[in-house]
């Protein structure tokens, strides 16, 4: 199947001009999602719209009810990380006395490239879609992607109505990004700031703690919580599976296009801080030694330096979680191998052609360091040189897509599934093979195409495809079944077997969904030689 999947691709050519860089993808997708963000004004014409007040342990919230679905926007789950709390671990929320308005989304976390997206350093808020009735309902906590430097929780793509209609409480959460959430300021501001590269993970743990303590007020069951995300959100989900601080805050996890290997060592984190500091001081000369001005500088100026670091780097993902301290002593996959997630349930998978979105449908140049997530280019090329022995009939451009997809998404997800399964976790694996029939990415199951299907937002696919709607319904229903505590299942799908490292049974999600054992096995063996 992988050897003959491609036709042409509208808007691309043989010199790779159709490629969409990761940075450009993050910029474009954030801008699109911002433009499509669901706002309260979109509901004003709804004759069923009414006000609803809920009393939580944190305080009373005024939200809205539309067609029986209760919606609460911009709900704080921690103290604003501003002033003396900038670059510090998440501070617990202080309860409020009066009724707090929760009818408007809070701004997104600070991020580059998005002049029209409402942003603020004060960004630690979540949104809730709750079914009618008292429950208790299962809860799905969604973590958005965006390469650790972009994205937001209130995109229309992540409208929780379709999950609430299935009697699931949907919670979308925000977290600090880039320099605010994923950079270790210890090398610049001193030892008391060591570990600040994991501030975003502290944020996510705090959001889960808020859900555990408060979700019962919305009919949610704090003992049936599923955490999930896509891309960077899936990688954050793996970290939450690894952390003891979140162990008792959720029972199940969904990883879409993630893995648990991508983190920075302390040395790598220090290098990011050094590079950032050099760029900062060049743009902001000071007669004083040190970087004390970072504490009080405008957030816009901090983001401007972040953007310069990203644009001048030969690697992507300069901002990400760090390992080697007491909070995250090892990579998530290593902690999971040591039984940190024993007893939890995991639904995990990738899209067949993830990296086609970034490399372009017909890339002709070798993948560069900017396209790799885990290896440097020389080590990657050692693996890539053997791909022709596995796929002798595959065109060169397809080999590049396959290899980079494996390096960043597929192999890390396999290793996470293996680690979780071997230590007593229940696991279900999928691979999405659905492709757009027309357009630039025709014939590709590219990065992020799964989101429209899972969330039943098919207008985001931008093509009229009669096979999309029934497949989207099946995928959505399989996710719903999993969130409810069952094996993923839907009418029309074959029985979905549990995954184990021996058989690697994988559900292939496509118009002709089926189960395969050991898919791409010879390819995986190439990567196992370079573990």
Catalytic residue among 354, 407, 408, 444: 354
Active site residue 231: yes
Q: Supply 460's token pair.
A: 């985001």
The per-residue pLDDT for range 97-120, each reduced to its tens digit, is 999 999 999 999 999 988 899 999
Mean pLDDT of 322-350: 96
Q: Supply 374's token pair.
A: 């885990």
**Contacts for 97-100 with beta carbons within 8 Å, 24 or more apart?**
97/59, 98/59, 98/60, 99/53, 99/59, 99/60, 99/61, 99/62, 100/59, 100/60, 100/61, 100/62
pLDDT band, very low/low/confident/very high, at 1 (cuts 50, 70, 90): very low
Q: Is 146 helix (H, G, I), strand (E, B) or coil?
A: coil
- Do residues 386 and 379 lie in contact, with contact meaning Cβ atoms separated by under 8 Å? no
Cα→Cα distances 404→23, 85, 147, 376, 380, Å = 16, 39, 16, 12, 9
Topology of domain 41-341, CATH = Rossmann fold (3.40.50)
H helix intervals, 440-509: 449-454, 468-483
Q: Supply 331's token pair.
A: 């990579």
Rounded Cα distance, 39 and 154, in Å: 9
Locate the domains of the chain by residue range: 41-341
Rounded Cα distance, 342 and 422, in Å: 9
Active site residue 152: no
Which residues 6+ apart lie within 8 Å of 518 measured at CB?
503, 504, 524
Rounded Cα distance, 429 and 98, in Å: 46
- Do residues 183 and 151 lie in contact, with contact meaning Cβ atoms separated by under 8 Å? no
Q: Considering only CA atoms, which of 217, 133, 131, 121 is closest in space to residue 178?
A: 121
pLDDT score, position 21: 54
Rounded Cα distance, 413 and 346, in Å: 11
Is the pTM higher than 0.85? yes
Q: What is the dihedral of CA 181, 307, 262, 456, to 10 degrees?
A: 80
The per-residue pLDDT for range 413-452, each reduced to its tens digit, is 999 999 999 999 999 999 999 998 887 788 899 999 999 9
The per-residue pLDDT for range 79-103, each reduced to its tens digit, is 999 999 999 999 999 999 999 999 9
Which of 12-16, 17-21, 114-118, 302-306 shows the lowest per-residue confidence on average (mean pLDDT)? 12-16
Catalytic residue among 144, 316, 447, 476: 447
Q: Considering only CA atoms, which of 124, 66, 74 is closest in space to residue 103?
A: 74
Catalytic residue among 66, 196, 231, 252: 231
- Do residues 403 and 359 lie in contact, with contact meaning Cβ atoms separated by under 8 Å? no
463 CA to centre of own chain: 24
Q: Considering only CA atoms, which of 342, 257, 365, 329 is closest in space to residue 19?
A: 365
Rounded Cα distance, 264 and 331, in Å: 9
In this model, does residue 17 exceed pLDDT 60?
A: no
Q: Considering only CA atoms, which of 359, 389, 382 is closest in space to residue 16?
A: 359
Rounded Cα distance, 425 and 260, in Å: 15
Q: Considering only CA atoms, which of 217, 210, 125, 219 is closest in space to residue 164?
A: 219
160 CA to centre of own chain: 16
Active site residue 316: no
Beta bridge partners of 65: 50, 70
């Amino acid at each position: 199947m992988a050897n003959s999947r491609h036709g042409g691709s509208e808007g691309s050519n043989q010199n790779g001009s159709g490629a969409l860089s990761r940075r450009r993808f993050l910029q474009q997708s954030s801008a699109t999602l911002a433009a499509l963000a669901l706002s309260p004004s979109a509901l004003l014409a709804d004759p069923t719209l009414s006000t609803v007040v809920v009393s939580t342990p944190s305080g009373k919230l005024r939200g809205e009810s539309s067609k029986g679905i209760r919606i609460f926007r911009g709900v704080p789950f921690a103290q604003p990380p501003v002033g003396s709390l900038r670059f510090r671990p998440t501070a617990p929320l202080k309860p409020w006395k009066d009724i707090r308005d929760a009818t408007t989304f809070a701004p997104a976390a600070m991020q580059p490239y998005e002049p029209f997206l409402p942003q603020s350093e004060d960004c630690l808020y979540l949104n809730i879609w709750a079914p009618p009735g008292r429950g208790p309902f299962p809860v799905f906590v969604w973590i958005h992607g965006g390469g650790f430097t972009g994205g937001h929780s209130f995109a229309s793509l992540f409208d929780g109505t379709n999950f609430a209609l299935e009697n699931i409480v949907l919670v979308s959460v925000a977290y600090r990004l880039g320099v605010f959430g994923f950079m270790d300021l210890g090398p610049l501001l001193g030892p008391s700031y060591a570990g600040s590269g994991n501030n975003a993970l502290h944020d996510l743990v705090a959001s889960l703690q808020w859900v555990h303590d408060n979700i019962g007020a919305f009919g949610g069951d704090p003992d049936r919580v599923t955490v999930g995300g896509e891309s960077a959100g899936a990688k954050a989900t793996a970290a939450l599976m690894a952390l003891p601080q979140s162990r008792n805050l959720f029972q199940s996890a969904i990883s879409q296009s993630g893995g648990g290997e991508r983190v920075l060592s302390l040395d790598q984190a220090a290098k990011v801080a050094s590079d950032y500091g050099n760029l900062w001081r060049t743009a902001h000369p000071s007669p004083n030694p040190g970087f004390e001005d970072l504490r009080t500088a405008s957030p816009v100026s901090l983001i401007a330096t972040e953007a310069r670091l990203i644009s001048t780097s030969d690697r992507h993902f300069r901002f990400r979680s760090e390992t080697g301290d007491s909070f995250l002593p090892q990579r998530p996959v290593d902690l999971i191998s040591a039984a940190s997630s024993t007893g939890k349930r995991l639904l995990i998978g990738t899209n067949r052609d993830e990296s086609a979105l970034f490399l372009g449908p017909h890339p002709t140049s070798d993948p560069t360091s900017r396209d790799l997530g885990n290896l440097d280019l020389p080590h990657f090329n050692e693996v890539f040189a053997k791909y022709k022995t596995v796929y002798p009939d595959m065109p060169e451009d397809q080999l590049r897509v396959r290899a980079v997809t494996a390096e960043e998404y597929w192999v890390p997800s396999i290793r996470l599934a293996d680690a979780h399964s071997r230590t007593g976790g229940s696991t279900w694996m999928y691979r999405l093979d659905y492709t757009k029939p027309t357009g630039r990415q025709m014939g590709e199951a590219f990065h992020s195409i799964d989101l429209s299907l899972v969330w039943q937002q098919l207008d985001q696919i931008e093509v009229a495809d009669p096979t999309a709607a029934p497949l989207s319904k099946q995928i959505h229903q399989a996710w719903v079944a999993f969130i409810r505590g069952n094996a993923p299942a839907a009418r029309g799908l074959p029985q979905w077997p549990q995954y184990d490292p021996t058989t690697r049974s994988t559900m292939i999600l496509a118009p002709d969904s089926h189960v395969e054992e050991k898919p791409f096995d010879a390819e995986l063996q190439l990567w196992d030689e370079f573990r």
